A and B are shown apart, each in its own frame.
Chain A
Amino acid sequence: MITGTPKPIEEILEMVEPYDNIIVAGCHGCVTVCRVGGHKEVEVLSSTLRLARESGGSKIEINELSLERQCDPEYVETLRPLIDDYQAVLSIACGAGIQFLAEKFSKTPILPGINTGFLGVTERQGEWSERCQGCGDCVLHLTGGICPVTRCAKQLFHGPCGGSTAGKCEIDQNVQCGWQLIIDRLKALDQMDNYLKLKPYKGWDSSRDGGPRRIIREDMI
């Protein structure tokens, strides 16, 4: 899922300071699962803003709503009939959702209520960790299902570097060496021959280095 963390309330209050009639928009997708942008969070944030603003002497009216997904046009369009009645939208979807609203409603300021994080997994309730950087050229079949792009701080492709000690990465003793994980897993799978199949170099043009990416599936258009 796409993860995120709430922005500090002071930062959000500063953002909405010029407005007294806004929408707080949640998303039922990833941000609901990681408890940062679902309808419950819409309710809590809206109450918090109303309390802070009224106790400071400047009330704010808030329409609390959540879209099924803020990254799909059919759901985003459900905002169109009401958007002109509000001065701004505070979106607590991921950065993709926030930008999609901004594209669709060019006359309304769309404000970010969260800081978008990474593509990750839930370790346990309240803890998420990164697994994928969307490099566009997956090699997980060769690396025992562990991504060297994401799990290795240097994004190396040919084994652990000199900063790997006792299975830990030099950047932080709490971070496991991605390559140590890969080697251990390949050994356990009896697939160490995969280690020799890795590419001599990785082309990064399918990653962010090629600029903003686009997928066009002719079979679906």
Chain B
Amino acid sequence: MLPCTGRIEESLLLKAFENGADGVMVIGCLEGDCHYVSGNIRARERVKRVYSILDQIKIGPERIRMYNLSAGEGAKFAAFANEFVEQIMELGPSPINIVRAKTAQKAPEEETL
């Protein structure tokens, strides 16, 4: 949990994928409502750059998305979370997790040989 999405670096978002995330949702305050003036706008641009990177390396740009809502919108948060999870479930595991699963499957087979 970060106090402001403006603290998010592109490398942090990419690390999440390296650590096995199939999707990453970034949730910031409503635009124009940032306590630090432009934190969520900066985050939006960083998410865009990561979107482009994921597209270029064929992990899939749709695996990252930024949402904006206020702290009082619990129901909306739940709806956004459900929507994103459904989207990721439809996409399935990220290419990196597919490779890892195959490697993990092979390892015990090789041990028994």
In the bound complex, how far is the Cα of B95 from the Cα of A8, in angstroms? 21
> Does B94 sit at the interface, judged by CB under 8 A?
yes
State whether B18 touches A47 (Cβ < 8 A).
Answer: yes
Given contacts A9-B53, A9-B57, A40-B9, A51 and B14 within 8 Å (CB-CB) = yes
In contact, A44 and B10 (Cβ under 8 angstroms):
yes
Interface residues in A182-203 (C-beta closer than 8 Å to B): none
Whether the pair A48, B99 counts as a contact (CB closer than 8 A) is: no
Q: Is the CB of A55 within 8 A of B18?
A: no
Tally chain B residues at the interface, Cβ within 8 Å. Answer: 18
Question: Contact at A44–B53, with CB atoms within 8 Å?
Answer: yes
Q: How far is the CB of A26 from chain B (nearest CB, A)?
A: 12
Q: Known contacts being A43-B9, A57-B99, is A51 close to B18, with CB within 8 Å? A: yes
Q: For residue B99, which residues in chain A have a CB less than 8 angstroms away from its CB?
A: 54-57
Interface contact A10-B56, CB-CB below 8 Å: yes
- Residues of B near A168 (CB, < 8 A) are none
Given contacts A47-B15, A48-B14, A50-B18, contact A55 B9 (CB under 8 A): no
Q: How far is the CB of B18 from chain A (nearest CB, A)?
A: 6
Residue B35 at the A interface, CB < 8 A? Answer: no
Interface centre among B10, B15, B57 (most CB of A within 10 A): B57
What per-residue 1/0 map shows which CB atoms of A34-55 lie under 8 Å from chain B?
0000001001100110111011
Query: How far does the alpha carbon of A188 sit from the alpha carbon of B67 in the complex, in Å?
Result: 51
- Cβ proximity bits B87-101 to A, threshold 8 Å, 1 near / 0 not: 000000011101110
Q: State whether B9 touches A51 (Cβ < 8 A).
A: no
Residues of B within 8 Å of A8, CB to CB, are 56
Minimum C-beta distance from A44 to chain B (A): 5
The dominant DSSP class at the A interface is: helix
- Compute how far the CA of A54 lies from the CA of B96 in the bound complex, rounded to whole angstroms: 6
Residues of B within 8 Å of A56, CB to CB, are: 99
In the bound assembly, the distance between CA atoms of A54 and B57 in angstroms comes to 11
In the bound complex, what is the Cα–Cα distance between A8 and B53 (angstroms)? Answer: 10
B77 beta carbon closer than 8 Å to chain A: no
**Assembly CA distance A196 to B56 (angstroms):** 55
Instruction: Tell me, in angstroms, the Cα distance from A175 to B41 when the chains sit together.
Output: 31
Residues of B within 8 A of A43 (CB): 9, 11
Give the interface of A toward B (CB within 8 A).
8-10, 40, 43-44, 47-48, 50-52, 54-57
- Going nearest first, the 9 A-B pairs with the smallest beta carbon separation are A47-B14, A43-B11, A55-B95, A52-B57, A55-B96, A44-B10, A9-B56, A44-B11, A54-B96
Q: What are 24 pairs between A and B in contact, CB < 8 Å?
A: A9-B53, A10-B56, A40-B9, A40-B11, A44-B9, A44-B11, A44-B14, A44-B53, A47-B14, A47-B17, A47-B18, A48-B14, A51-B59, A51-B96, A52-B59, A54-B99, A55-B57, A55-B58, A55-B59, A55-B95, A55-B96, A55-B98, A55-B99, A56-B99
